[in-house]
Copies of this chain bind each other. A is one copy, B any other.
Amino acid sequence: MNINEAIDLLKENGYKATGKRKDILNYFADSDGYRTAKDLIKFLEKKDDAVSFDTIYRNLHLYNEVGILETTELNGEKHFRMNCTHHHHHHFICNKCGKTKEIEVCPMDEVTRSLANYEIDGHKFEIYGLCPTCQ
1/0 per residue, CB under 8 A from B, across A58-77: the answer is 00000000000000010010
A119 touches B103 (CB 8 A): no
Contact of A128 with B132 in the complex, beta carbons under 8 Å: no
Chain A contributes a number of interface residues (CB within 8 A of B) equal to: 33
Contact B121 A124, beta carbon cutoff 8 Å: no
In the complex the two chains form, is A120's CB within 8 Å of B129's CB? yes
Q: Write out the residue numbers on chain B whose beta carbons fall within 8 Å of the beta carbon of A78.
A: 76
A103 to B125 Cα, complex, angstroms: 13
B-facing residues in A114-134 (Cβ within 8 Å): 114-115, 117-132
Asked if A107 is an interface residue, CB under 8 A from chain B, the answer is yes
Flag if B117 contacts A128 (CB, 8 Å). no
Which chain B residue lies CB-closest to A109? B105
- Specify which chain B residues have a CB less than 8 angstroms from the CB of A114 in the assembled complex: 103-105
**Contact in complex: A128, B123 (CB < 8 Å):** yes
* B contact residues around A95 at 8 Å (CB): 121
Show 17 A/B contacts (Cβ-Cβ < 8 Å), sorted by A: A92-B118, A101-B115, A105-B111, A105-B114, A107-B107, A115-B127, A115-B129, A118-B130, A118-B131, A119-B129, A119-B130, A119-B135, A120-B128, A121-B130, A122-B128, A124-B126, A125-B125
Which A positions have Cβ atoms within 8 angstroms of B?
73, 76, 78, 92, 95, 101, 103-108, 110-111, 114-115, 117-132, 135
